[in-house]
């Protein structure tokens, strides 16, 4: 039975629904992530201006329904009518068994069922969090039909495959303001992610206020940090969306920013412990590391963790633990003597000693430890969770040794890989050697947004929409793995994510306008549509990036894995395999567009100081268009290209493959196939 059930006068009526069995309602499945089980029925529910909702009474669900209504209104432009009268049956009935965990953990029940029929919608969930997941699915079901919108008749039974579906954001290398975090949480909720892992401290900045240790931010943050009130606001905002916030304080290494104000934490020798320390501007691995031998280190951490535990209610606290090179430990005779006395033979053993002191502190403050691979060493308590940035093998090894773990590395967004590559990386791959019991220890995964190369303006396009593909990998059944279908839905999801406030598409135009100094950027848009940023390592090496490197160049405006990359592959494949004439026409139109845009883009770039480095891309665009068009012409005429033609065009492609101006073309491989085919290969 429905408990605490009331017609939602709070919402008023938003949209009203009417049954439309007769209407053409062929279902266009754009759901992302795909549900565990979906049955498509005939007909649907037409949305009209008097949609009413009755729901289980709960403050979080009130908010979720209000947001649902606002987004539905935005999506359909249907006006909000007066509140429903008691005689009108509700269109959407949400029943929930209970509010869910008081403090959400990995075991929260997120399952739900959704029945859309021509006469109404029923959403049922065990918890409010499950109901929120179902509301997101419902919004994704809305589709155009004639001059209006419908909800197609479907029956959905859904539950996540993995319990831990996260997104990590590093706010140390580059601080990300509260607004960025909030819109990111909205995007996460839209694709059913449930953990926001907040990497709050690293060598390059300490980003949360401590009242106990004020010098952490006074001296270690450049004034860029969250107040405790702001952090609480984020925790509440996330909870309202069924998202946990796991804070990370990366120790004992990657902790230089702590030592700027508190050098006594460091392991260096001399009066100032190897300091004085400055906020690190460069990127990489640095020597300063906390001193594991002193009681004062643990007293400090006890107070600090206690303070943070009051702000972050999640059962887990992430202690980092990665990339400690041990240099300061090895260079300090007192620490070496301590290590010898305690039979700690190497850096890993000494770090495990540090973790062993840390565990009871975390426990005392009600937290379980999570850390990167490096904490996985002999002697570590089985209570700790391992986050693997070293990949499957490392994760599998810790699962075999009895530890719970989550997978991170194949989901590193800063590497600028394709959504496809992330999508096909499974935390428990088919054919895994893990036993069912060991597999159950793999809790899930996290997309990771390391922020060396992202600013508040570019971060959305680095996270989205690729993270939606990762979210599907972590939520949907393993058998949902068709890449073409993922991309088809991903581009739809990307539009929906902009509707919740993200800027991953619009930011490209904003960037191009700023770079070109004009609003007439059509030719640049054509060029940008086939470019993407170079990968992390390439950028780092070519630009020698640091925290001080400006991020307002073409590389920062263009998007990773834009639609052209996969789209061009599909078109060329269809044309070469089946002589598909629709594909041919699309390719020809695209090549003509490049040929026309090249000289115009060249003129714009010549006049723009910040577009000098990538300027050769404009001529290359026109040359690539010409190569493609000529290839199509030879292939259509079934005429072999003249001797030397293919070699000359392949040389053009090879030239274009170089990472000029920190950007790469997305279309070269299929273009190469086309040219080779025209050349008779």
DSSP state of 226: B
Residue 234 structure tokens: 């984020």
**Which residue's CB is nearer to ligand ACM, number 420 or number 452?**
452
**Which residue's CB is nearer to ligand ACM, number 222 or number 322?**
322
Per CB under 6 A, 415 contacts ligand ACM: no
Alpha-carbon distance of 91 to 50, in angstroms, equals 9
**Which residue's CB is nearer to ligand ACM, number 71 or number 173?**
173
Q: Minimum distance from CB of 448 to ligand ACM (Å)?
A: 7
Alpha-carbon distance of 318 to 228, in angstroms, equals 18
Q: Minimum distance from CB of 326 to ligand ACM (Å)?
A: 15
Q: Minimum distance from CB of 385 to ligand ACM (Å)?
A: 14
Options 198, 304, 372, 591; binder of ligand ACM; rule CB under 6 A: 372
For the chain, what's the residue count?
Answer: 681
Nearest CA-CA partner of 564 in 455, 631, 664: 664
Options 97, 323, 580, 592; binder of ligand ACM; rule CB under 6 A: 323
Q: Write b or e for each residue in 389-426: b if 16 or more Cβ atoms lie within 10 A of its Cβ, otherwise e.
A: bbebebbbbbbeeebbbbbbbbbbbbbbbbbbebbebb
**Which residues, numbered 548-607, are part of the site for ligand ACM (CB under 6 A)?**
none
- The footprint of ligand ACM on this chain (CB under 6 A) covers a number of residues equal to 4
Cβ(72)–Cβ(51) under 8 Å? yes
Q: Minimum distance from CB of 192 to ligand ACM (Å)?
A: 24
Write each residue from 605 to 644 as x if it is in contact with ligand ACM (CB under 6 A), else as -, in one continuous string.
Answer: ----------------------------------------
Q: Minimum distance from CB of 173 to ligand ACM (Å)?
A: 12
Q: Minimum distance from CB of 374 to ligand ACM (Å)?
A: 8
**Which residue's CB is nearer to ligand ACM, number 52 or number 409?**
409
**Which residue's CB is nearer to ligand ACM, number 328 or number 332?**
328
Kindly tell me the sign of the dihedral angle through the C-alpha atoms of 494, 498, 504, 505.
positive
Options 115, 222, 322, 592; binder of ligand ACM; rule CB under 6 A: 322
Q: Minimum distance from CB of 457 to ligand ACM (Å)?
A: 24
Q: What is the CA radius of gyration of the chain?
A: 27
Residue position matching structure tokens 């629904």: 17
Cβ(221)–Cβ(257) under 8 Å? yes
**Which residue's CB is nearer to ligand ACM, number 70 or number 285?**
285
Q: Minimum distance from CB of 389 to ligand ACM (Å)?
A: 4
Alpha-carbon distance of 287 to 266, in angstroms, equals 10
**Exposed, middle or buried: residue 153 (CB in 10 Å: 0-12, 13-18, 19+)?**
buried
Catalytic status, residue 498 = no
**Which residue's CB is nearer to ligand ACM, number 197 or number 566?**
197
> CA-based angle 241:468:99, to the nearest 5?
20
**Which residue's CB is nearer to ligand ACM, number 56 or number 389?**
389
Paired strand residues for 444: 164, 406
3-state DSSP assignment of residue 532: strand
Q: Helix, strand, coil proportions of the chain in percent (round to 5)? A: 45, 15, 40
Alpha-carbon distance of 239 to 127, in angstroms, equals 13
Per CB under 6 A, 389 contacts ligand ACM: yes
Residue 565: phi, psi to the nearest 5? -65, -60
Write each residue from 226 to 265 as x if it is in contact with ligand ACM (CB under 6 A), else as -, in one continuous string.
Answer: ----------------------------------------
Alpha-carbon distance of 388 to 410, in angstroms, equals 10
Q: Minimum distance from CB of 531 to ligand ACM (Å)?
A: 27
3-state DSSP assignment of residue 393: helix
Q: Which helix (H) or strand (E) holds 371?
A: strand 368-372
Measured in whole angstroms, the distance separating CA 93 from the mean position of its chain's CA atoms is: 32
Alpha-carbon distance of 503 to 499, in angstroms, equals 9
3-state DSSP assignment of residue 346: coil
Residue 587: phi, psi to the nearest 5? -65, -45
Alpha-carbon distance of 439 to 387, in angstroms, equals 15
Cβ(135)–Cβ(105) under 8 Å? no
Of 115, 307, 323, 669, which is the active-site residue? 323
**Which residue's CB is nearer to ligand ACM, number 201 or number 293?**
201
User: Annotated active-site positions, please?
Assistant: 323
Residues that bind ligand ACM (CB under 6 A): 322-323, 372, 389
């Amino acid at each position: 039975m429905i408990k605490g059930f009331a017609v939602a006068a709070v919402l008023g009526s938003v949209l009203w629904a009417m049954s439309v069995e007769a209407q053409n309602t062929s279902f266009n499945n754009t759901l992302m992530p795909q549900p565990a089980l979906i049955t498509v029925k005939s007909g649907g529910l037409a949305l009209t201006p008097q949609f009413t909702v009755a729901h289980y009474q709960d403050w979080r669900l009130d908010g979720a329904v209000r947001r649902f209504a606002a987004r539905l209104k935005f999506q359909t432009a249907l006006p909000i009518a007066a509140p429903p009268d008691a005689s009108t049956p509700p269109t959407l009935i949400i029943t929930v068994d209970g509010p869910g965990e008081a403090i959400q953990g990995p075991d929260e029940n997120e399952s739900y069922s959704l029945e859309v029929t021509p006469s109404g919608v029923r959403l049922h969930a065990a918890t409010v969090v499950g109901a929120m997941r179902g509301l997101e699915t419902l919004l994704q079901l809305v589709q155009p039909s004639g001059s209006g919108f419908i909800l197609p008749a479907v029956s959905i039974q859904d539950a996540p495959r993995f319990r831990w579906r996260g997104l990590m954001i590093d706010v140390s290398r580059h601080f990300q303001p509260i607004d960025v975090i909030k819109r990111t949480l909205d995007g996460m909720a839209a694709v059913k992610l449930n953990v926001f892992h907040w990497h709050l401290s690293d060598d390059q900045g300490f980003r949360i206020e401590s009242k106990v240790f004020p010098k952490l931010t006074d001296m270690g943050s450049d004034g860029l940090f969250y107040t405790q009130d702001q952090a609480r606001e984020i925790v509440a905002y996330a909870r309202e969306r069924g998202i946990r916030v796991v804070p990370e304080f990366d120790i004992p290494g990657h902790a230089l920013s702590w030592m700027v104000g508190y050098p006594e934490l460091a392991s260096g020798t001399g009066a100032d412990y190897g300091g004085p320390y400055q906020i690190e501007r460069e990127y990489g691995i640095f020597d300063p590391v906390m001193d594991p031998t002193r009681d004062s280190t643990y007293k400090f951490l006890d107070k600090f963790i206690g303070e943070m535990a009051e702000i972050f209610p999640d059962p887990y606290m992430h202690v980092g633990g990665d990339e400690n090179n041990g240099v300061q430990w090895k260079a300090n005779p007192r620490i070496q003597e301590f290590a010898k006395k305690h039979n700690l033979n190497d850096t890993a053993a000494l770090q495990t000693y540090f973790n062993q002191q840390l565990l009871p502190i975390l426990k005392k403050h009600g937290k379980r430890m999570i850390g990167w691979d490096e904490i996985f060493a002999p002697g570590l308590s089985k209570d700790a969770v391992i986050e693997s940035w070293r990949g499957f093998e490392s994760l599998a090894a810790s699962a075999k040794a009895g530890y719970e773990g989550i997978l991170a590395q194949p989901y590193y967004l800063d590497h600028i890989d394709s959504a496809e590559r992330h999508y096909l990386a499974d935390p428990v791959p088919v054919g895994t050697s893990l036993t069912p019991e060991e597999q159950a220890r793999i809790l899930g995964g996290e997309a990771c947004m390391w922020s060396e190369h992202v600013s508040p303006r570019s971060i959305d396009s680095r996270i989205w929409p690729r993270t939606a593909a990762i979210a599907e990998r972590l939520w949907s059944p393993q058998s949902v793995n068709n890449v073409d279908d993922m991309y088809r839905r991903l581009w739809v999801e990307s539009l929906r994510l902009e509707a919740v406030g993200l800027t991953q598409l619009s930011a490209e135009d904003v960037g191009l306008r700023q770079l070109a100094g004009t609003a007439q950027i059509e030719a640049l848009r054509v060029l940008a549509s086939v470019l993407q940023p170079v990968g992390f390592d390439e950028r780092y090496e070519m630009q020698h990036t640091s925290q001080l490197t400006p991020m307002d160049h073409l590389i920062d405006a263009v998007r990773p894995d834009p639609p052209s990359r996969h789209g061009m592959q599909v078109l060329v494949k269809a044309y070469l395999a089946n002589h598909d004439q629709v594909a041919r026409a699309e390719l020809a139109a695209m090549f003509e567009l490049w040929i026309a845009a090249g000289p115009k883009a060249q003129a714009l770039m010549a006049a723009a100081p910040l577009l000098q480095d990538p300027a050769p891309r404009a001529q290359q665009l026109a040359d690539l268009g010409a190569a493609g068009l000529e290839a199509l012409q030879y292939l259509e005429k079934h005429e072999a290209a003249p001797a030397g033609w293919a070699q000359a065009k392949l040389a053009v492609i090879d030239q274009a493959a170089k990472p000029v101006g920190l950007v790469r073309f997305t279309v070269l491989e299929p273009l190469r196939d086309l040219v080779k085919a025209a050349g008779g290969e």
